[in-house]
Amino acid sequence: MNLKPLADRVILKALEAEETTKSGLILAASAQEKPEVAEVIAVGPGGLVDGKEVTMTVKPGDKVITGKYSGTTVKVDGEEYTIVKQNDILAIVE
């Protein structure tokens, strides 16, 4: 991958959506929700952003939850990634 995030940006890759429900029903592709859990691929350096010091708290490999419609989606080498600001990340999944 040739993407390097700047400032407080984080590059995420969505994890695969569940294809079956807990009861075993198989969902059609149109019925599956956009996944909100993603894996952190790359993290910017942080630093001074809009006059405030930003320390990056996520790292590559973390699984995180983001808002449904946050970030910008880009396609690189056939893979889809989302670029978000660190403050668009709601939680780290442990």
Where is average pLDDT lowest: 6-10, 24-28, 55-59, 70-74? 24-28
Residue at token pair 């942080």: 46
Which three-class secondary structure state does DSSP give residue 29?
helix
DSSP string, 3-32: ----TTEEEEEEPPPPSB-TTSPBPPGGGS
pLDDT at 31 over 70: no
CATH superfamily of the 9-93 domain: GroES chaperonin (2.30.33.40)
pTM of this prediction exceeds 0.95: no
Report the pLDDT averaged over residues 25-40: 66
